[in-house]
Amino acid sequence: MWRLYQFPLCPFSRKVRLLLSEKGVPYELWRENPWDAGDEFWALNPAGRTPVLHEADKNITLCDSRAICEYFEETVEKMPMINGTVASRAEIRRLVALFDENFYYDVTGPLLHERMKKRLILRQPPDSKALRQAMKMAHGHLDYMDYLIDTRPWLAGSTMSLADLTAAAQISVADYLGGIDWSGHEQTRGWYSVFKSRPSFRPLLSERMEVIQPPSHYGEIDG
Amino acid sequence: MWRLYQFPLCPFSRKVRLLLSEKGVPYELWRENPWDAGDEFWALNPAGRTPVLHEADKNITLCDSRAICEYFEETVEKMPMINGTVASRAEIRRLVALFDENFYYDVTGPLLHERMKKRLILRQPPDSKALRQAMKMAHGHLDYMDYLIDTRPWLAGSTMSLADLTAAAQISVADYLGGIDWSGHEQTRGWYSVFKSRPSFRPLLSERMEVIQPPSHYGEIDG
Ligand SMILES: N[C@@H](CCC(=O)N[C@@H](CS)C(=O)NCC(=O)O)C(=O)O
Ligand SMILES: N[C@@H](CCC(=O)N[C@@H](CS)C(=O)NCC(=O)O)C(=O)O
């Protein structure tokens, strides 16, 4: 069976978990904190990052969430997530990069730094200016999502795709860390609550990262 | 014809240029500095980043270098660059991410910040500690490349792939900015000089970014 090396608030691991569940691929979770990973983990992934997916019996190791998703897209037909014309596929991959890189850089990454790393590793209080800035950037990204959802049923087009899974994964971590103010973003909020009710999403919402508690609306489908 | 929005030292644009040349896809260059791009560019790419590839007649816009490369892999058969079994393809994509993200974060990004942005935009002298740190990190990455090339003809396996183009693109920018000390890295140096002699690579090596001069060995095939 596949083993996923991850920690509960890693947005890239969440994307992979959503994809595996949607495609019906069984896997087990293996807790790994990249900030204090040992030699065994570094041997699996020389980049030292989660997620890593490993199949011991077949001796396969997959690293990098996009490489992992492309692998399952190529090997499992159920629930295609990078689908349609070449132009649609390029649009899906553009949005995956936008959420994995820009949203993460502007919002999820700073929130993880201020609220998780400072608490668990650095033992420092969060910097309220950095938190305000991340929340401000989140509004900008949600505005863009509102615009997309105004013009299309799903983020990248007419069907659910890896773009939706990627955005939902990033947003769910940002929301856990109190960084999302939903007011004024009814379109994206509606899209997200549809997502939250999917069976693939439920396990993520009930998990907790030690010490850090999410706001009360986090796990609620209409929250 | 395709128009590539880029600037000479953008490593992600260099990767796309190498891929287009290897595949024989004609394109024209369009100079764009993401740090002072106008509304027109932001309308093409809401992430505000180079590279962007645009075909006005067909009204197609492609953003994000990985999405662009996957697009041409799917549409142009010549010189496959994400090829082989699903496992090989995953290995290629793992290495693409390693160079685009880790090498860029550790080496190319800091060098661009210290030697290009501080010179052209911030009008500050480079921080010599940051430069030393980037060069030290470059050694670590080159050690890993030496190891890969010791065990395989090309970075990801038996044939040239997008992993090689990605690594060469990052290294060429780092080398331009004086960040690569080749001593002790004979394997990677040999691999790189084979690369430098390819017709796809020659135009990159003869280009210059205004004000910033590369070291003398930069453009030489045995340099
Ligand atoms: N491009 C990678 C990014 C993965 C990533 O940045 N993971 C974070 C945890 S959320 C990590 O392991 N960071 C540790 C580090 O970069 O040293 C992916 O998509 O899998
Ligand atoms: N994932 C993107 C990264 C592109 C990127 O970071 N480009 C840089 C120039 S080398 C840029 O435009 N930076 C400006 C910014 O991030 O605001 C890709 O592969 O195309």
* Tokens found for residue B87: 């496992």
Q: Of A48, A75, A102, which residue constitutes the final position of a domain? A: A75
**pLDDT, position B222:** 76
B65 plus B94 within the same structural domain: no
This prediction has a pTM of 0.98
**pLDDT, position B138:** 98
B52 plus B104 within the same structural domain: no
Domain of B12, in residue numbers: 2-75
The 3-state secondary structure of chain A, one letter per residue: CEEEEECCCCHHHHHHHHHHHHHCCCEEEEECCHHHCCHHHHHHCCCCCCCEEEECCCCEEEECHHHHHHHHHHHCCCCCCCCCCHHHHHHHHHHHHHHHHHHHHHHHHHHHHHHHHHHHHHCCCCCHHHHHHHHHHHHHHHHHHHHHHHHCCECCECCCCHHHHHHHHHHHHHHHCCCCCCCCCHHHHHHHHHHHCCCCCHHHHHCCECCECCCCCCCCCCC
B45 plus B99 within the same structural domain: no
A24 plus A120 within the same structural domain: no
A28 plus A90 within the same structural domain: no
Amino acid B168 reads A
B137 plus B167 within the same structural domain: yes
**pLDDT, position B77:** 98
The mean pLDDT of A153-163, rounded to a whole number, is 97
Atom number in ligand 1 closest to CA A64: 20
B113 plus B183 within the same structural domain: yes
- d(CA A42, CA A37) in angstroms, rounded, equals 7
Q: What distance in angstroms lies between residue B149's CA and the mean position of ligand 2's atoms? A: 28
Query: Residue A136: inside a domain, yes or no?
Result: yes
Query: Residue B22: inside a domain, yes or no?
Result: yes
**8 Å CB contact of B93 and A67:** yes
Chain A neighbors of B98, CB-CB under 8 A: 46-47, 64
For B200, phi then psi, to 5°, come to: -65, -25
Residue A174 has pLDDT above 90, yes or no: yes
Query: Residue A97: inside a domain, yes or no?
Result: yes
Nearest CA in chain A to B91: A62
Query: Residue A220: inside a domain, yes or no?
Result: no
Q: Of B30, B51, B75, which residue constitutes the final position of a domain? A: B75
B92 plus B154 within the same structural domain: yes
Q: Of A51, A75, A99, which residue constitutes the final position of a domain? A: A75
A107 plus A68 within the same structural domain: no
Query: Residue B221: inside a domain, yes or no?
Result: no
A68 plus A141 within the same structural domain: no
ipTM: 0.97
**8 Å CB contact of A70 and B90:** yes
pLDDT digits (tens, 9 = 90+) for B33-53: 999 999 999 999 999 999 999
A43 touches chain B (CB under 8 A): no
Which residue's C-alpha comes closest to atom 14 of ligand 1? A49
**pLDDT, position B62:** 98
Domain count, chain B: 2
Determine the 3-state secondary structure of B25 from DSSP: coil
Average pLDDT, chain A: 97
The mean pLDDT of A23-42, rounded to a whole number, is 97
Query: Residue A215: inside a domain, yes or no?
Result: no
Which residue's C-alpha comes closest to atom 19 of ligand 2? B65
**8 Å CB contact of A60 and B87:** yes
- What is the domain-level CATH number for residue B17? 3.40.30.10
- What is the domain-level CATH number for residue B185? 1.20.1050.10
Query: Residue A81: inside a domain, yes or no?
Result: no
Query: Residue A19: inside a domain, yes or no?
Result: yes
Helices (H), B24-161: 39-44, 65-75, 86-97, 109-111, 128-151
pLDDT digits (tens, 9 = 90+) for A53-104: 999 999 999 999 999 999 999 999 999 999 999 999 999 999 999 999 999 9
A40 plus A142 within the same structural domain: no
pLDDT digits (tens, 9 = 90+) for B140-191: 999 999 999 999 999 999 999 999 999 999 999 999 999 999 999 999 999 9
Identify the band that residue A125 occupies on the pLDDT scale cut at 50, 70 and 90. Answer: very high
Atom number in ligand 1 closest to CA A48: 17
A118 plus A190 within the same structural domain: yes
